[in-house]
């Protein structure tokens, strides 16, 4: 089967599409382990399984690096500071595996910046005690000492600094893991959507899929429609208000701009998706991020998922007034929980800091989300920047939306149900664990371990 899929013209998910060379996809695929979903978790799992020498087929509904899920963008926080000793331990294991993934792929992924925790709700002293118990280097600074170290931030109480924190380039991580998995023999098929499963008498699973959308002639598309007079066609989400620079992965900011539709084609001559390959596997890893609540019922076995809340989050990038300022990542809880980190490429060509509210997001589903940034969240974040971050120009350069999948206790789901391994490590803090999740998922898929008790499904029953 030929895959005549089209792909985004650039990595911003927008603009005209170009045809990529057709991918040869057989009508039938026999594999040891099928991994559905090539976000941070599925790609890390495929890499881990491939480097252990197993036959893996990674199945992704869209293109690698697309912006409809949870893993796009150049900036995620990596930190050791958690108010929970188990997560402190896991961040250490995961930090080692990030370095391994970097070495294995020759790609820089984790950039150390140091991290700052502040605000009464964040309890810097309590976090310091936990880091001390775990032997993680850290300092507790007075407001004056902190302001001297980071003159572009304001402090009214103690601040915890730990030097091991930093940022992860999520886009680069997904690309590196997929590329390396493929080099190690994994089969990677994109534009192919899992639609259902049946168990075979021999214990294996047969997956049904849909193939790619077929476009006869490619015209400017909409990954998100557009266009209002005076507003440029945009990308997966967003546009451009006067005074706000064009941006990439985000959402609508302009009054009068229609909400977007996550990829609906507008090109005449686009045919619906075709039948995709039939994939038979001994084990199937389901790493579909925010699509999990919609897809769990298609596995053909009962999966007792907890109530998962999918929310549409928004992030904002602000210009650093001093291009030489070395921004740490930070988490500031004084009322709303605000986090920030150097933006990387998502902020544009000038140094910028991504700032967002962790505990705000409207409930959506992965297929019905609209990509529209919540103006109330923009107000809260902008007010925070004005009050606490004098080193930033308080008008967002760009903004973007992204999906959280949240469990009731904010621990992950990572468990095995028959031949399926269910992988849902998000709750807004999963990225930093991706290579560790890849390893834990591989162990579950190969039957080497029981699930981590904190991530087991049985905790909800």
Ligand X SMILES: Cc1cc2nc3c(=O)[nH]c(=O)nc-3n(C[C@H](O)[C@H](O)[C@H](O)COP(=O)(O)OP(=O)(O)OC[C@H]3O[C@@H](n4cnc5c(N)ncnc54)[C@H](O)[C@@H]3O)c2cc1C
Return the residues of window 396-415 that contact ligand X according to CB under 6 A.
402-404
Q: Cα separation of 453 and 458, whole Å? A: 9
Out of 80, 162, 332, 432, name the contact with ligand X by CB under 6 A.
Answer: 432
Number of residues that bind ligand X (CB under 6 A): 36
Return the residues of window 71-90 that contact ligand X according to CB under 6 A.
71, 76-77
Least distance in Å: CB of 292 to ligand X? 8
Q: Quick check: 340 binds ligand X (CB under 6 A)?
A: no
What are the tokens at 323? Answer: 């291009």
Nearer to ligand X, 45 or 231 (CB): 45
Out of 87, 98, 194, 234, name the contact with ligand X by CB under 6 A.
Answer: 194
Q: Cα separation of 405 and 425, whole Å? A: 8
Contact yes or no for 204/263 (Cβ under 8 A): no
Q: With contacts defined by CB under 6 A, name the span among 27-35, 54-62, 438-446, 453-461 that binds ligand X.
A: 54-62
Tell me the helix, strand and coil percentages in the chain, rounded to 5.
25, 30, 45
Contacts 24+ apart (CB under 8 A), 99-105: 100/435, 101/44, 101/47, 101/173, 101/176, 101/177, 101/180, 101/435, 104/47, 104/51, 104/180, 105/176, 105/177, 105/179, 105/180
As a three-state string, the secondary structure of 247-301 is CCCCCECCCCCCCCCCCCCCCCCEECCCECCEEEEEEEEECCHHHHHHHHHHCCC
Q: Cα separation of 412 and 198, whole Å? A: 26
Least distance in Å: CB of 252 to ligand X? 16
Residue with tokens 């809880």: 333
Q: Cα separation of 13 and 24, whole Å? A: 23
Q: Quick check: 429 binds ligand X (CB under 6 A)?
A: yes
With 0-12 CB in 10 A as exposed, 13-18 as middle and 19+ as buried, what is 386? exposed
Spell out the alpha helix ranges (H) of 109-219: 124-134, 143-149, 170-183
Out of 42, 114, 119, 451, name the contact with ligand X by CB under 6 A.
Answer: 42
Q: With contacts defined by CB under 6 A, name the span among 228-236, 243-251, 269-277, 289-297 that binds ligand X.
A: 289-297
Least distance in Å: CB of 38 to ligand X? 5
Residue with tokens 């209002």: 228
Q: With contacts defined by CB under 6 A, name the span among 18-26, 31-39, 88-96, 128-136 that binds ligand X.
A: 31-39
Nearer to ligand X, 319 or 431 (CB): 431
Q: Cα separation of 393 and 329, whole Å? A: 17
Return the residues of window 294-323 that contact ligand X according to CB under 6 A.
295, 313, 315
Least distance in Å: CB of 431 to ligand X? 3
Q: Quick check: 430 binds ligand X (CB under 6 A)?
A: yes
Out of 6, 29, 34, 36, name the contact with ligand X by CB under 6 A.
Answer: 36
Least distance in Å: CB of 71 to ligand X? 3
Q: Cα separation of 155 and 144, whole Å? A: 7
How many other C-beta atoms can be found within 10 angstroms of the C-beta atom of residue 324?
A: 6
Nearer to ligand X, 222 or 357 (CB): 357
CA 320 centroid distance within chain:
24
Q: Among all residues, whose Cβ is closest to ligand X?
A: 39
Return the residues of window 347-386 that contact ligand X according to CB under 6 A.
none
Out of 431, 436, 442, 457, name the contact with ligand X by CB under 6 A.
Answer: 431
Q: With contacts defined by CB under 6 A, name the span among 98-106, 150-158, 233-241, 281-289 that binds ligand X.
A: 281-289
Q: Quick check: 95 binds ligand X (CB under 6 A)?
A: no
Q: List, in order, residues 6 or more apart from 389 with CB less than 8 Å away.
A: 152, 153, 154, 318, 340, 353, 355
Nearer to ligand X, 165 or 231 (CB): 165
Nearer to ligand X, 146 or 356 (CB): 356
With the CA atoms of 402, 407, 413 and 418 taken in that order, what torsion angle do they form, in degrees rounded to the nearest 10?
A: -110
Q: Quick check: 428 binds ligand X (CB under 6 A)?
A: yes
Out of 158, 277, 425, 451, name the contact with ligand X by CB under 6 A.
Answer: 425
Q: Quick check: 451 binds ligand X (CB under 6 A)?
A: no
Out of 290, 328, 340, 396, name the contact with ligand X by CB under 6 A.
Answer: 290
Nearer to ligand X, 313 or 320 (CB): 313
Out of 61, 140, 159, 389, name the contact with ligand X by CB under 6 A.
Answer: 61
Nearer to ligand X, 145 or 417 (CB): 417
Out of 69, 119, 158, 237, name the contact with ligand X by CB under 6 A.
Answer: 69
Q: Quick check: 176 binds ligand X (CB under 6 A)?
A: no
Contact yes or no for 381/313 (Cβ under 8 A): no
Give the closest residue to 40 by CA, choosing from 11, 80, 76. Answer: 76
**Would you tell me which residues interact with ligand X (CB under 6 A)?**
36-42, 59-62, 69-71, 76-77, 193-194, 287-291, 295, 313, 315, 402-404, 425-426, 428-432
């Amino acid at each position: 089967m030929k895959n005549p899929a089209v792909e985004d013209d650039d990595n911003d998910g927008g603009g005209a599409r170009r045809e990529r060379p057709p991918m040869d996809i057989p009508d039938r695929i026999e594999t040891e382990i099928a991994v559905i979903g090539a976000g941070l978790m599925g790609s890390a799992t495929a890499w881990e399984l491939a480097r252990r020498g197993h036959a893996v087929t990674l199945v992704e509904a869209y293109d690698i690096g697309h912006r409809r899920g949870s893993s796009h963008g150049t900036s995620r926080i990596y930190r050791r500071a958690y108010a929970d000793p188990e997560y402190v331990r896991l961040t250490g294991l995961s930090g080692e595996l990030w370095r391994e993934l970097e070495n294995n792929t020759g790609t820089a992924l984790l950039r150390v910046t140091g991290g700052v925790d502040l605000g009464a709700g964040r309890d810097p002293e309590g976090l310091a005690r936990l880091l001390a118990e775990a032997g993680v280097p850290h300092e507790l600074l007075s407001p004056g000492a902190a302001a001297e170290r980071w003159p572009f931030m304001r402090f009214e109480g103690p601040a915890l600094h730990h030097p091991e924190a930093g940022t992860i380039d999520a886009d680069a991580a997904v690309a590196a893991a997929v590329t390396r998995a493929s080099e190690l023999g994994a089969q990677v098929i994109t534009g192919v959507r899992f639609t259902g499963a049946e168990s075979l008498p021999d214990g294996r699973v047969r997956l049904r899929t849909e193939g790619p959308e077929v476009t006869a002639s490619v015209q400017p598309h909409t990954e998100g429609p557009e266009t209002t007079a005076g507003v440029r066609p945009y990308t997966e989400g967003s546009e451009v208000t006067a005074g706000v620079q064009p941006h990439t992965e985000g959402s609508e900011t302009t009054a009068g701009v229609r909400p977007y539709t996550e990829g609906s084609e507008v090109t005449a001559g686009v045919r619906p998706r075709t039948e995709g390959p039939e994939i038979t596997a001994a084990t199937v890893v389901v790493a579909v991020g925010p699509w999990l609540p919609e897809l769990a019922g298609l596995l053909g076995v009962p999966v007792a998922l907890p109530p998962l809340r999918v929310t549409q989050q928004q992030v904002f990038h602000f210009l650093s007034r001093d291009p030489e300022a070395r921004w740490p990542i930070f988490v500031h809880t004084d009322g709303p929980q605000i986090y920030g980190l150097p933006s990387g490429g998502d902020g544009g060509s000038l140094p910028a800091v991504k700032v967002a509210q962790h505990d705000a997001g409207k409930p959506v589903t992965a297929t019905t989300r609209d990509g529209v940034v919540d103006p109330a969240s923009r107000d809260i974040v902008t007010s925070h920047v004005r009050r606490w971050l004098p080193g930033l120009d308080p008008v967002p350069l760009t903004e973007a939306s992204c999906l959280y999948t949240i469990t009731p206790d904010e621990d992950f789901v990572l468990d095995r149900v028959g031949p399926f391994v269910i992988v849902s490590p998000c709750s807004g803090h999963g990225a930093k664990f991706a290579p560790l999740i890849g390893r834990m998922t591989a162990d579950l898929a190969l039957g080497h371990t029981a699930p981590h008790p904190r991530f087991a499904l049985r905790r909800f029953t």
